[in-house]
Amino acid sequence: MTALDVSVEQVWDWLGEVADPEIPVISVVDLGIVRAVRLEGEACVVTITPTYSGCPAMRVISESVSDALRAHGIEDVRIESRLSPAWTTDWMSAAGKAALKGYGIAPPVQQAIDISGLHAGIRRRAAPAVACPHCGSSHTQLTSEFGSTPCKALYKCLDCREPFDYFKCH
């Protein structure tokens, strides 16, 4: 099969089944890593953006995307990596954020890009109130700026006493 035999929408559906290697409950589409899909003749070109530059999972993600499309019969797959614009948690889907919470990772609670203060100069945001994904309490405390991966921070719930990762806004 070639890219001539499928639609862009079908490719997006297939990619929605490709799990992130570090957080297997969220797809690379729901995480916002897949930026574009285009069909060029017999080739399917998928553009991906890492969650941060130097992300060690990008090689595995590229291979997983290629493998998934080849499993559906697309033989000519090209992966393009794009660093600009930089990935942001704003690109995560609502379903992806819900999957994170169900997995025990607090999803980002703010928009990463806030343009409301551009005319008034740069302003700092207050630290977000992060709800515990286990009990729902907002009585939580930052333990470390870095959690199990660099894109997460480590928090603890002061009510249920459970530690948890918080997916930082970027």
For the chain, which residues make up each domain, given as ranges? 8-81, 104-109+127-169
Q: Is the pLDDT of residue 128 over 80?
A: no
Structure tokens at 163: 């530690």
Nearest in space to 106 (alpha carbons), one of 32, 150, 163: 163
Q: What's the half-sphere exposure (Cβ side, CA atoms, 13 Å) at 88?
A: 11
3-state DSSP helix/strand/coil percent for the chain, to nearest 5?
Answer: 20, 25, 55
**d(Cα 6, Cα 73) in Å, to the nearest integer?**
10
Tokens of 109: 């609670």
C-alpha to C-alpha distance for 63 and 131, rounded to whole angstroms = 34
pLDDT band at 137 (very low <50, low <70, confident <90, very high): very high
Q: Which of 2-11, 67-76, 96-105, 118-127 has the lowest mean pLDDT?
A: 118-127
Distance between CA 129 and CA 24 in Å, rounded?
A: 26
Residue 147 is predicted with a pLDDT of 84
- CATH T-level topology, domain 8-81: GMP Synthetase; Chain A, domain 3 (3.30.300)
* DSSP conformation class of 90: G
Token reading at 146: 């870095």
| 75, 55 contact by CB (below 8 A) | no
Q: Which of 10-19, 84-93, 141-150, 160-169 has the lowest mean pLDDT?
A: 141-150
| Distance, CA of 142 to CA of 153 (rounded, Å) | 7
pLDDT at 168 over 90: no
Confidence of residue 109 (pLDDT cuts 50, 70, 90): confident
